[in-house]
Amino acid sequence: MNTILPRSGTAFMLRKGERLKITDIKGEQVSDFTCFNLDDTKEYLSSGRTIDYAETIFLTKGHPFYSNRSNIMFNIIEDTVGRHDFLLTPCSADTFRIIYGDENPHRGCFGNLCEALEPFGIDPDSIPICFNVFMNVAVDGETGKISVLPPKSKEGDYIIIEAAMDLIVGMTACSAEMSNNYSFKPIGYSILKNETAE
């Protein structure tokens, strides 16, 4: 298993049919996840399309994850937690400045994704709303208020996704205090070959 150190990020290719296991090594840690079509990086993971077609904001096993072009990019094959966020953009220096009032803000998941995805030719403006694995965002259906709560994930919890096209994946061990119950921890990942793939 590969490890993403606390408050850092990585990017890599995931081929169609390959499975990616994302593990919360210590529990209560979020991983901001996004992906792009390897062959045309203007096609990206779209929260708006995915939520629209799934008719839920809580995505898990059984919900196809769509691109901005309405193509399926991946599916969740296993999910031991069942609660993730798909509403919020990655934390950034601006997030820490606006929400936390930090004077010398960390670059956040956004800055980490920028650096990790730059070698693949993906620029900062092209990083969309992420699928925030293990992030627990409650929504009050009456008022609309959102609340960032501690993740429901415990040590060793994981999801497994299967790529439905060749992908560039970017992911982080999230840098925002509220998202991780005020303790920065690593995230694990490993690519599993899918024996049933074409």
Q: Which residues bind a copy of itself (CB under 8 A)?
A: 42-44, 46-49, 51-53, 55-58, 68-70, 87-89, 92, 94-95, 98-99, 123, 125, 128-129, 138-141, 143-147
Rounded to an integer, what is the distance from CA 162 to the centroid of its chain? 14
- Is 88 in a helix, a strand, or coil? coil
Closest distance to a copy of itself from the beta carbon of 25 (Å): 26
Nearer CB in complex with a copy of itself: 68/194: 68
At 139, phi and psi to the nearest 5? -125, 130
Nearer CB in complex with a copy of itself: 29/37: 37
Closest distance to a copy of itself from the beta carbon of 22 (Å): 20
Instruction: Give the CA dihedral 85, 155, 15, 92, nearest 10 degrees.
Output: 40
Closest distance to a copy of itself from the beta carbon of 154 (Å): 21
Nearer CB in complex with a copy of itself: 143/196: 143
Q: Which two tokens stand for residue 145?
A: 């208020």
The total number of residues written for the chain in this structure: 198
Q: How far is 169 from 35, CA to CA, in rounded Å?
A: 4
Q: How far is 59 from 11, CA to CA, in rounded Å?
A: 22
Closest distance to a copy of itself from the beta carbon of 74 (Å): 17
Nearer CB in complex with a copy of itself: 18/79: 79
